[in-house]
Amino acid sequence: MVNCPLFLSQAWAKETGKYTEGVDEADPAKWKANLRCALNKSRDFRLIYDGPRDMPPQPYKIYEVCSNGPAPTESQPTEDYSVCTEEEEEEEELQRMLPGLSITETVQPGPPMASYLPKEDAKWSPALQPPVGLGPPAPAPNLLAPPHGDAAGFGHLLPGVLPNVEPGPLDASLPPTGEQLLPDLLISPHMLPLTDLEIKFQYRGRPPCALTISNPQGCRLFYSQLEATQEQVELFGPVSLEQVRFPSPEDIPSDKQRFYTNQLLDVLDRGLILQLQGQDLYAIRLCQCKVFWSGPCATAHGSSPNPIQREVETKLFSLEQFLNELILFQKGQTSAPPPFEIFFCFGEEWPDRKPREKKLITVQVVPVAARLLLEMFSGELSWSADSIRLQISNPDLKDHMVEQFKELHHIWQSQQQLQPVAQAPPVAGLGAEQRPWPMHPVSMQ
């Protein structure tokens, strides 16, 4: 079987109950993986050639029919070879994953990056001046590489690529005072952590690794032993960015998954820059590894892959747009709150039909200010009688007695406020303000 025809793998999927025409969605890649899995487990076939693995355009396998049964040196599977476990299907998927990893691409020659000149810090409107005393929390071990040099502004990474955009007037997006729907925190937006970004790294099937960075310029996500220096700005971007290193993949238990993950990390030396520009967040992909994303400012929606072009500024999030949509949501003019989470997928297409949890490397980025605002409104909206169901037992005799004590205590406190309290004998070790209200034991029988 040099090249498995589609009808053959589809017939096998129908035979094993993995696919019902007109009911299940067609998935030819999974059909082929299941058929290969069954052939590998079958006693009637033997793999005699496993196609080249150096990212061939058409990888293939050759099986031989065992007329006299399997070779004596091979293991004899006892389970039903028509059924492949989820783990085996994932192994087959990893086997065919490497040729499809988005790593290499042709980069069009552009203007020399040596002409990069740091510009002054991005201008913030007076109402959105970031707090001076706000600093990042303690970083996770081996994730943050300390930035070098002074905190120069980001400026232009490439001439004509990163214009020095002045932030638009945010006050114009807020409603008049009489219609003010936003709480006091929005009236004083300088209290918001506008430069804070929550970053969560996720390797397939592994616990996420999260941290929060706070840098007025932004950060660079990378995986390399090479650190950014002032002399190599054209390669790694400004040294004033927070340098955030991807977690090590060494704790990934699957050898194949760890191998393919390393294939992607090895081409992440230059990294992905997340730049704060005014009240907006932008991405600039420097790395050889292709990066796909989804988020509030994504032009592609649904299941269409959305790539980040190399060395091209891509807008990810706009605080002004988020506030406008939040106001509309609070007025009841939209049915859903505005999105603010941004997802990156490294080396594989995204979005697509494959769930995010199945991707080798993903990164979630959350602007903290947007999350806090939305959580604040969600908390206020949740205080409705329909959404809260308190769980309280019916009172018994002891509960009624406690209520009576509480009522007597309340009456006693009211009397103390209306008339002077008679001098009580002092209690050893207690001041007058610390003496407890006397409550004598009462039988509960």
What is residue 125's predicted lDDT score, i.e. its pLDDT?
Answer: 35
CA 175 to chain centre: 32
Mean pLDDT of 302-311: 89
Q: Average pLDDT for residues 127-152, to the nearest whole number?
A: 42
Residue position matching structure tokens 């932030």: 167
- The whole-model pTM stands at 0.56
Per-residue model confidence as pLDDT tens digits over 110-139: 444 433 333 433 333 333 333 333 334 444
Residue 357 has pLDDT above 80, yes or no: yes
Identify which has the larger pLDDT, 301 or 193: 193
Contact 193, 368 (CB under 8 A): yes
- The pLDDT assigned to 42 comes to 80
40 has a pLDDT exceeding 90:
no
Positions of CATH 1.10.10 in the chain: 6-100
Three-state secondary structure call for residue 331: coil
The CATH T-level fold of domain 115-381 is Tumour Suppressor Smad4 (2.60.200)
The C-alpha R_g of the chain, in whole angstroms, comes to 31
Structure confidence at residue 99 (pLDDT): 63
Higher pLDDT, 183 or 35: 35
Q: Which residue type sits at 234?
A: E
Of 219, 238, 218, the C-alpha closest to 228 is 238
pLDDT of 428 strictly over 80: no
Contact 406, 398 (CB under 8 A): no
225, HSE (Cβ side, Cα atoms, 13 Å)? 0
Contacts of 130 (CB under 8 A, 6+ apart): 124, 190, 194, 195, 216
Choose which CATH entry (1.10.10, 3.90.1200, 3.30.360, 3.40.50) describes domain 6-100: 1.10.10
Residue type, 381: L
- Please report the pLDDT score of residue 105 as a whole number: 57
Between β-strands 218-222 and 272-277, what pairing exists: parallel, antiparallel or unpaired? antiparallel
Instruction: Indicate the range of 297-306, 382-391, 400-409, 416-425 predicted with least confidence.
Output: 382-391
Burial 220-257 (b: 16+ CB within 10 A, else e): bbbbbeeebeeeebeebbbbbbbbbbbbebeebebeeb
Contact 395, 403 (CB under 8 A): yes
Give CATH 2.60.200.10 domain extents, the chain.
Answer: 115-381
In this prediction, residue 409 has a pLDDT band, given cuts at 50, 70 and 90, of confident
Which residues share a beta bridge with 231? Answer: none
